[in-house]
Amino acid sequence: MKKKLALALVFVMGLSFTACGKTTVSDSTNEAVSGGVQSTDTNEDKESSGKSDKTTITFINGFTGGDGEYMTKIVDGFNESQSDYYIEQLQDADHYTKFKSGDFDMLIIHADWISTYHAMGLLREVSDIYDMAGISFENDFHDITKTYAKYDDGVFAFPLDLYAETTFYNKEYTNEAPKDYNDMIELRDKLDSENSGIYPYGLPLTGDQQWAWMTALGQCGVNWVEDEHIKLDTEEACDAFMKIHDMIYKDHLSPAGLGADDHFNTFINQSETAANVKTVVSMTGPWKYTVAKEVLGDNLGIGTVPQIYGDKKCVPAGGHTFGVSSKVTDEKKIAGIAAFMKYTYQPEVLLNWADSGQAPVHLATMEVVKANPEKYPVAAVNYTIFDDAMILPAIYNIREQVKYVNETVWSMVVQTENLSRDDLMAELKNATDIATELSEM
């Protein structure tokens, strides 16, 4: 029953963890960026490019920000490396909706979405493709991938990376990233935050709020999953959210009233709504590295998430993977996908992805990155937290389950100065009830 209902469910995408922008269609002979308009090749173009003689494999992903060019390097490199197959790539911010309504052979799917797409029957089991590509899921990838790509009925993804919440800090104000709450307090006093308008840290209103509350729950050791749904109507969860609230309104480690993405915008001095506020530390995604480096230059420092809520080590993270559509049955396409995976999972190729700031989970590539930390600073730092990473639980409809927390609960926590525990518990109960219903659909 759940699967039948799931097939009729229309998902509204929640927090995506990837940069959004324009639609891009690219290949090795024609790369078009046209403000959301897909460009198409004429028959004459196809004949001149030689694509008509190749097996075409359609591939959609959401890499429409700075990381898109690095995936394009991999795709174009494969297309140029052989004469039998052609990967036709579409980069679109709404790629999940287009994948479900279109006819794509491959997609990039986030680690936390695999469980839902698996339940809906949208993904192909890919053990045979692993064998054809000469890749071992069990031996060639970090063990964390087994928590989201492998199910009782097989393997349903090719893990690409693990992206963790990353701490960027401004060396103009501090020589190292804060390690704990006391360091944050000391930095606040040094900055004289309430008078200077320069704060240790900015808690997001929107942007990375999911990572912020996952950090609090994880570091406080809160068990917030029960059976197939999230469970937040507990005193322990309430305590964790109140600690977030107190960072703003009690200890003034973060300014109040920040707007969308101001946890990062105030870090790079580009906030339109909080122009008189500056933050010294920003906890955000690795894809923000390129922009932060452009603005801060040599003053940019990179560190791991500090222990600001509790003693348990926990860093929220996500992962990108390659998924194959369950509609793919053509043997030539299957062979082409295997050839693409064999090509991609070579360190010399996958290092293109590390160049984007992402941290590949392919073990052989990881070793190269670790040996060159100055060249791959974000990935090298994030590798140190892999064993402490917390990914959204691999349960059905998880992104819909956390939406109420991301929107209603979070807004209450960061925007209500005189927040009471009773009011917060009421919303945590609502969040739990909604998640329970969504898990049963």
CATH number of the domain bearing residue 285: 3.40.190.10
Band of the pLDDT at 273, cuts 50, 70, 90?
A: confident
User: What was the pLDDT predicted at 287?
Assistant: 84
User: What was the pLDDT predicted at 363?
Assistant: 98
User: Same domain, yes or no, for 342 and 379?
Assistant: yes
Beta bridge mates, 24: 33, 91
In a domain, 26, yes or no: no
184/5: higher pLDDT: 184
Distance CA(156)–CA(148), nearest Å, equals 9
Q: What is the DSSP string of 27-86?
A: -SS-EEE-TTPPP---HHHHHHHTGGGSEEEEEEE---STTHHHHHHHHHHHHHH-SSEE
Contact status, residue 264 vs residue 211, Cβ threshold 8 Å: no
In a domain, 359, yes or no: yes
pLDDT tens for residues 343-397? 999 999 999 999 988 999 999 999 999 999 999 999 999 999 888 999 998 889 9
Band of the pLDDT at 51, cuts 50, 70, 90?
A: low
Alpha carbon separation from 292 to 170, 206, 270, 382 (Å, rounded): 10, 18, 11, 17
Check whether 38 has a pLDDT greater than 70. Answer: no
Share of the chain above pLDDT 70, in %: 88
Distance CA(191)–CA(201), nearest Å, equals 11
User: What was the pLDDT predicted at 430?
Assistant: 98
Distance CA(177)–CA(415), nearest Å, equals 26
Max mean pLDDT among 16-20, 207-211, 272-276 falls in 207-211
Beta bridge mates, 60: 90, 107
User: What was the pLDDT predicted at 1?
Assistant: 34
User: Same domain, yes or no, for 269 and 178?
Assistant: yes
In a domain, 30, yes or no: no
Which residues have CB under 8 Å from 403's CB, separation 6+? 12, 14
Q: How many structural domains compose the chain?
A: 2
Identify the domain containing residue 172 by its residue range.
Answer: 166-316+394-440
Check whether 100 has a pLDDT greater than 70. Answer: yes
pLDDT tens for residues 212-233? 999 999 999 999 999 999 999 9
From the list 271, 237, 239, 236, the residue with the least C-alpha distance to 255 is 271
Band of the pLDDT at 36, cuts 50, 70, 90?
A: very low
